Every structure is written in C-alpha cells, then in structure tokens.
Structure 1
Amino acid sequence: MILNGLYDNFLSWFSVDMGIDLGTCNTLVCVRGEGIVLNEPSVVAVKKNSTQVLRNGNELAVGWVAKEMLGKTPGSITAIRPLKDGVISDFEITEAMLSYFIRKVNGQHPLVRPRVVIAVPSGITAVERRAVLDSAEKAGARKVYLVEEPMAAGIGASLPIVEATASMIVDIGGGTTEVAIMSLADIAQCESVRVAGDDMDEAIINHMKKAYNLMIGEQTAERIKIEIGSAATDGEERTMEVRGRDMISGLPRKTVITSEEIREALQEPLSAIIETVTRTLERAEPELAADLVDNGIVLAGGGALLRGIDVVVSNATGLECRIAEDPLTCVARGTAIYLEHLEEWKGTMESDADDF
C-alpha cells in the first residue's frame, strides 16, 4: 500500500490532476495551480436511438456545441442532458461527456491519466455514487475521489469550515439545492432537495402555457429567468418579448411579459428551497445556531444569481444572508483546493480505492 501511494504521488508529477463540478446544467473543471480551465454545459448530442456521440466537423458535439442544438434537432439527432437532479441518468452518455472533458484538459499529458476529485450532491445514494466513480474511471481517470458539494462550495466560498464555529452554505444548482451547516471540517447538519434552477425554468414554461397558451423551450425559459426573473421586488420592473409556438393555432407567436408575473411563477420552487433552509436551521445544535446569528448564511451556485434571493432567505430566517464571490464557480474552486490538500484530506473522501 505504501509503495502504491509513493508510485501514485510520483505519477502526479506528470499528470494534470483536476477537480470537477459535475453539474446538471454545467460541468466545470479546475486544474491545480491554474484555476478553472473549462466551463461547458452538461449536454451531449447523439444519433437517435444510440450512444454514438455526434461529430461537428473535427469536434465532438459536447458542451456548448450540443447546447446550441437543444430543442432544435431533427428526428435523427437527440441532444441529451445526461445528468438529472444532480445524478447520472444516462451512464454511457455521461462517460462519453466526461471522457471528452478530461481529454480536452489533459491533452498535453495523454500518457499519464489524471487523479480526479468530483463534487457530488450530499443526498445521493451509494448506487449513484458508484455510478459517478465508474463513469470517471472509464472516462480516463487514474484515481477518483468524491467530495460532497456543500463542503466543496464552503471551501470555494472561503468559509472558515475547519474552525470550531458554524458556517452555513446554500448551494442552488441546476438539479439540486444543497443546504449545510459545517463546523470543524465536517458537515454538522445537511439536507439536499431536488428542487433548483431546472424547476424554476419548468415553472416559467408552465406559466407561459397557462397565461398565454404559448409553448416555449428550456433555453428560452432560462433566458427569461436570467434577464427578468427575481425572487423579491427591487423597485425596477422589467419587461421582455418572448417568442414561442401558439398552443391553439400551432403557429409561431410573440408576446410581452413582465418581471412581476415571472416572480409569481417562481414562488413554488423558491418556497421549497426556503423550507429546506429553515428545516436545516431547526435541526441545528443550539451552539451552532448561536454562531449563525453572527456568521449568517452564504448563497452559492447559479441560483444565487437570481435577483433578490438573498433578501427572501434573510427575511425567512432572520439571519444575514450574502452571495458568495463568483457563486457559479464556488464548487469547482473548492474541488481545486481539495486537490492541493489531497494527501491530508483523502482519508475523509470516498474513492474508488474504498472498494478494495
């Protein structure tokens, strides 16, 4: 075992070890000493009824190329998001996607396979964890380590998680929202709920159907959320022109919507997230709860960029709430810091070596 460890450390001098935030919407890759080197959508385009990844010239249709195809493919092509609610829903397509990303980052050192740290939702099952480990191994990783997303997000947000004080993170991703209270380098209280950015997009799609008899796609719903979506009033009401297909005539049509109605449409998924935050706080130990009065709550993930969400969380909990610096990359940056301390911390992480 000692020789194996020494050999592994020797190989790490020649490999591009990487941290991966394998998200439902986007996959981010960090390399030790270089920061984030890849940020692409978790989308793959394949030939219909197969797992053969489509080619776009010399490039595979993965990431940005594939996302452009969402909702626009002919019958012979399918654009797939292989992760749903933060977990792998299509094993082979995820393997192909990971393989593409790892090769893209590891291109200069193809002879030595990298060690990989992957952030996973805290609420996934043992079978789902095994699927991530297997996919990464088959995609070309030499050794795979799993770290829970709240821990990675807390480290990436520069929270004092190793100290004897409570730090609270709310990581709102695409498929899951992770709420955790951390202290002394471990999670003291945590809850993962499969309500997040995708559910907000779905709520907007349903609102457009009910209010306007207008069918819109996922990408349009996401654009609406980003441009005029909000969780609380900020004194500035916005409007946006939306195009889609009329559900009655079947013809293309456009309409104008307001930020106020989108705010109403987002109430259901936002309420589920707020309930998860308050439930986690209710289960916290009294001393940890006391710390949070001073330390407050930090928001991370793409959902933290929704206007006014910090105000809503603060009003619901009575605690100060702030948005982490560059919330989209918190988890990925956390995995990179894990990589830097891999020898010290790998005993606390699940890895493919745990099976032997």
Structure 2
Amino acid sequence: MFKDIGIDLGTASVLVYIKGKGIVLREPSVVAIDKNTKRILAVGEEARRMIGRTPGNIVAIRPLRDGVISDYEVTEKMLRYFLRKVCGHPLIFKPRVMICVPSGATEVEKRAVLDAAYEAGARRTYLIEEPIAAAIGAGIDISKPCGNMVVDIGGGTTNIAVISLGGIVVSDSIKVAGDKFDEAIIRYMRKKYNLLIGERTAEDMKINIGAAVPRPDSPSMVVTGRNLISGLPKSVTVTSNEMVEALEEPLQAIVEAVHAMLEKTPPELASDIHERGIIMVGGGALLYGMDQLLYKYTQIPVHVMEDAVSCVALGTGRALESLDVYGPMAVMEHSRGAAYQG
C-alpha cells in the first residue's frame, strides 16, 4: 500500500506526518559523520547528543541552514533514514511526499529539496510554502476571501505571510529564528560573564529560562562553561530577566519584519487581521511572552497555536490528503518520469 507522508524539513528538527496516523516522528535535523570514511554514524536525537562532544574524526552536522539545504548529500541520506524509519526497510512501496519550504526559497533551493526527496526514495514529491502549510495545520480555512497573518518562527527562518483565497498576498522570510536566539545567548554570556558556552547549553537556557518579556517569577538556572580568562570550568546563575536582555536584538528583528508586512498588507486584509488576530506557530512561538511582545508593538491580538511545533507538519500532511483542494498551492513536483514544474 502506498503511503502519503508530509514532512516539515526544518533547520532544527524534522517532523513526519503519515495519513491516518498523525505525527509519527519528531527528531533533530542532525547527522553524525566519520570524516575519514564519510560513513553516517547516527541521525536525529542520537546525533544531537554528540554535538560538541565528539572526537576529531567524528563531526555532528546540521545539513540544513536558514531553512534550506546547505549539504545536499547529507540531507538526502538523512531523509532516506527517516523515510525508512517510518515506512520500513526496504522501501518496497515508495511514498508520495509533501515537503514544506520557506516562502522566500529560490527555484534552485526548491529543486534541491525535490531532488533530495526523490533520491531518498519518494515516488512523487510536492512542495508547499511553510506559511500555507502552517495555516492549514492551524485549522484555518484559507480558501475564504479574508486575510490571515501567519508568523512561523522556526529554527533557521521566520516566515511571515498574509494569506487570502488560498494564496499568499504578501510574505517575507528572514533568517532570524531559534538559531539566532542561541547565538545571541552565547554572545551575551561571553560579554557579561566571560563565559564560553556551547550551542546545546544555549538552547537549554532558551527553553528553560528564555523570555521575550520579563517574567513575574524570574526563574534562574545554573550555567556551566569555560572561563575565558582562566581557561577553567566555571558556573554562574543566570535569571530569566537577563535572557530578555540577551534576546532583545533578534526579537526586535522579528517584530520589525512583522510590522513591515502589516505596512504592505492591503487595507481590507489588514482590517481582517486586526479582527482575527495574528497566528503564531513554530518552536520560537513557545518562547515566554513572544505573543505579548508582538501585541505590544502591533496592538493586534496574537494567538499561539496549541501544538505550535507540529502545525507545519500537520499542514503538509493534510494538504497531501486533499490534493484536489490544495494542489494549486503546492509547487509540483518530482516523480519517477515526471519533470519539475516551477
């Protein structure tokens, strides 16, 4: 039996949706490789645990950067691994696959995703833009002639789009998202405490005590890194309110991008958005106070979806299930014997 699979191929994580089963896989977009033999040693969560902790001959890499493929060969192997994990090995029945791409992706970047999925074993591959998939996953009826604004804060990119009548009216994709939050925390710790921390520690800080606005309880966390002066390990206690200061720059970039989109939105649709509110999805939407920050600057209600991380994957799967409805929104396609149509 052929399977229909929706994939949210994200910079930080890969989510896989199977028709009739829902989200069946959620793993980090990380691959551990032996540099000497080019052999893949681990994929997903197992590989993520190796980041910053590998010997010289093993490197844990993220093959997607800023929402697009930065290492084609590794991405193809990672996709193959995940497809086999959910479909079984060998791939006797090749699946139809719908993959989301950032709204600003170029034709070359789209082609790379299509080719990678084809080489990984997909029978037929479709692409759909992330904001459209996010809106479908959030349960919005995008076919109606009314404006919906979707802000998808992922790992590598923040996609902002105004959708009406099943299409994107205005959109922007900025390379400021979860990864930039981590980088900002690393810079802050270096500058304030002369403490060098790794990506995983920064991510843990973002998840546990990160905030866009001050938290009433201001939780704290003990952070250990390397003292840049003595070169020795050192621990400091960092509060949530310090994270507000650390994350100010990337958060301001997102707020300004949303503001710019609202300025470009036609008046009738802007009225709809003011009435219906802004929909926020993606892992970055879960940062404490992100909705409050956006409301402060736009004076428009902001709704963070209940399962914000899974919205895009759910949308890709539902779009593939209802291809007769959503087909015109999908960027068709790579299949055995079919040509790519941009």
- Mark yes or no: TM-score above 0.5: yes
Aligned: 1:118 with 2:103? no
Q: For 2:276 and 2:146, locate their aligned partners in 1 and report how far apart those are by CA, in whole Å.
A: 9
What is residue 8 of structure 2 aligned with on the other side? 21
Counterpart position of 2:114: 133
1:284 matched residue in structure 2? 265
Rounded to whole Å, the distance in 1 between the matches of 2:278 and 2:4 is 32
State whether structure 2 residue 128 is matched by structure 1 residue 143. Answer: no
Q: How many residue pairs are counted as aligned between the two chains?
A: 337
- TM-superposed deviation, 1:346: 2.5
Q: CA deviation at 1:234?
A: 3.1
* Number of the residue aligned with 1:10: none
- Kept after mapping to 1: 8 A contact 2:133/2:313: yes
Match of 1:250 among 231, 248, 253: 231
* Identity value in percent: 53
Does the 8 Å CA contact 1:153/1:334 hold for their aligned counterparts? yes
The DSSP-based 3-state class of the residue aligned with 2:38 is: coil
Structure 1 pair 49–285 and aligned structure 2 pair: CA distance change class (3 A): farther
- Matching of residue 355 in structure 1 with residue 317 in structure 2: no
User: In the alignment, which residue of structure 2 is the partner of 1:11?
Assistant: none
State the TM-score, normalized to the length of structure 2. Answer: 0.96
| 1:303 matched residue in structure 2 | 284
1:92 aligns with 2:73: yes
Asked whether 1:155 is paired with 2:140, we answer no
Deviation digits for residues 260-302 of structure 1, max 9, x if unmatched? Answer: 1111010000000001100000000010011112101011000
- 1:49 deviates by 5.2
The answer for unaligned runs of 5 or more in structure 2 is none
With structure 1 as the length reference, what TM-score do the two structures score?
Answer: 0.92
The answer to whether the 8 A contact 2:4-2:321 is kept is: no
Report the equivalent of 1:33: 20
> Equivalents in 2 of 1:140, 1:109: separation in Å?
10
Q: Structure 1 residues 50 and 186 mapped into 2: Cα distance closer, same or farther (>3 Å)? A: farther
Code of the aligned partner of 1:22: L
1:184 pairs with one of 165, 171, 174: 165
User: Aligned partners of 1:277, 1:293: CA distance in 2, in Å?
Assistant: 13
Q: Which residue of 1 aligns with 2:218?
A: 237
What one-letter code is carried by the residue in structure 2 that aligns with 1:355? Y
Structure 2 residue 220 is the aligned partner of structure 1 residue 211: no
Q: CA RMSD in A?
A: 1.2
> Contact 1:51 / 1:93 at 8 angstroms: preserved in 2?
no
Gaps of 5+ in 1: 1-13, 55-60
SS at match of 1:328: coil
Q: SS at the partner of 1:254?
A: strand
Shift of 1:159: 1.6
Residues 156 and 337, structure 1, Cα contact 8 Å, conserved in 2: yes
Aligned partners of 1:226, 1:25: CA distance in 2, in Å? Answer: 14
Which deviations, in whole Å up to 9, do the C-alpha atoms of 1:34-85 show, x marking residues without a partner?
Answer: 100000000000012553201xxxxxx1001100000100001000000000
> Per-residue CA shift, 1:300-326, capped at 9, x if unaligned?
000010000100001111101110111
| 1:327 matches 2:312 | no
